[in-house]
Amino acid sequence: MTSFTLPLSAPDTTPQSASEARRQSLQRGLQRLLHNPMTVAGLLVVLALMLVALFAPWIATHDPLAQDLGQALKAPDAAHWFGTDEYGRDVFSRLVHGSRISLYIIALVTVIVGPVGLAVGSISGYFGGWVDDVFMRITDIFISFPSLVLALAFVAALGPGLDHAVIAIALTAWPPIARLARAETLSLRQADFVVAAQLQGASSSRILLRYIAPMCLSSVVVRLTMNMASVILTAAGLGFLGLGAQPPLPEWGAMISTGRRYMMECWWLVATPGAAIMLVSLAFNLLGDGLRDVLDPRSE
């Protein structure tokens, strides 16, 4: 008598709850994110920047503001890893503390630009008509000018300073976010779940907050991440021109500005902050590319 065995069935991976579905989606996204070595490299640099900024007082080997004219323009050595500037201040310590200023600018600009751009874009795309015309014409005015030129105009009106530079950068960075959110909203406002919510009597504000905005959030997060590189460059440009962080704050752009007078003999004054700006900008671009691959459903 011939015996046989039934084949084993594949394990059921269907999520049993909304929380389990979110957990599985997060795991798949994390696996895809870590599968790209360039994205991992960018993520490591960003995490390293955060750790350096958090532990700056313990990582820095000297007081970043302490002057010692007897040690001015010293080449890199065991005592001063990245050399000293024209006032004898340790360049490595100033670079470490400058990471705090860069993260401060990035965080404040993101907190301002993200909600403003998302709100303007989603409202414009959902209501259409004259609301769309008014919001988009204002957006077009901001987009028509190069961001650095527009930031210079705002800083000139507000006056030089770190907080004024943050406001100026934020005022120039929200229009692309608004354009993106509007495009996403235009593709969603006639979706079945939005129409069903309208038929059930949901208000426009409820639809925007509960249905439209969450669907646009992933694209906005990706764009914000990739915009961080331009935020860093704009902040460095304002600092280089003396309109951002004011001396003696160790801002990277301002360090390049003061060091350019000695760059032929003392290359480290310009090379080290320039390399930091380049490395962090590249890291945010790589991280943004990876997040786009994970969060954009069209990349599947």
Q: Quick one: pLDDT at residue 242? A: 86
At 14 the pLDDT is 62
pLDDT, tens digit (0-9, with 9 covering 90-100), for 238-279: 998 888 888 888 899 999 988 888 888 889 899 999 999 999
CA dihedral 8, 26, 123, 193 (to 10 degrees): 10
Higher pLDDT, 100 or 13: 100
Residue 207 in any domain: the answer is yes
Q: pLDDT tens across 71-103, in order?
A: 888 889 888 899 999 899 999 999 999 999 999
Q: Decide if 132 contacts 120 (C-beta within 8 A).
A: no
pLDDT over 70 at 16, yes or no: no
pTM of the predicted protein model: 0.84
At 2 the pLDDT is 52
- Indicate whether 188 belongs to any domain: yes
pLDDT at 113: 93
pLDDT of residue 288: 85
pLDDT averaged over the chain?
85
Chain-centroid distance, C-alpha 200: 38
Residue the block writes with tokens 């077009």: 140
Residue 8 confidence (pLDDT) above 60: no
Q: Determine the structural domain holding residue 211 and report its residue range.
A: 86-299
The pLDDT assigned to 17 comes to 55
Cβ contact 49:279 at 8 Å? no
Is residue 106 situated within a structural domain? yes
Residue 18 falls inside a structural domain: no
pLDDT at 134: 93
**Dist. CA 96–CA 93, nearest whole Å:** 5
Tell me what pLDDT residue 29 has.
66
Please state, in angstroms and as integers, the Cα–Cα distance from residue 241 to each residue in 11, 57, 71, 161, following that order. 62, 28, 27, 11
Q: Give the Cβ contact number of residue 4 at 10 Å.
A: 5
Torsions phi, psi for 15 (to 5 deg)? -65, 140
Q: Is the pLDDT of residue 116 over 60?
A: yes
pLDDT above 60 for 298: no
- For residues 22 and 231, which has the higher predicted lDDT (pLDDT)? 231
Q: How many C-beta atoms lie closer than 10 Å to residue 229's C-beta?
A: 21
Count of domains observed in the chain: 1
Number of CB atoms found within 10 A of residue 201's CB: 7
In a domain, 190, yes or no: yes
Find the mean pLDDT for residues 55-81: 89
Model confidence at 7, in pLDDT bands (50, 70, 90)? low
Residue 50 within any structural domain of the chain:
no
Within a domain: residue 206? Answer: yes
CA-CA distance, 143 to 274, in Å (whole number)?
A: 27
Question: Is the pLDDT at 4 greater than 90, yes or no?
Answer: no
CATH code where residue 102 lies: 1.10.3720.10
Whether residue 272 is contained in a domain is answered as yes
118: helix, strand or coil = helix
- Residues of the chain with pLDDT > 90: what percent? 35
C-alpha 183/C-alpha 199 separation (Å) is: 24
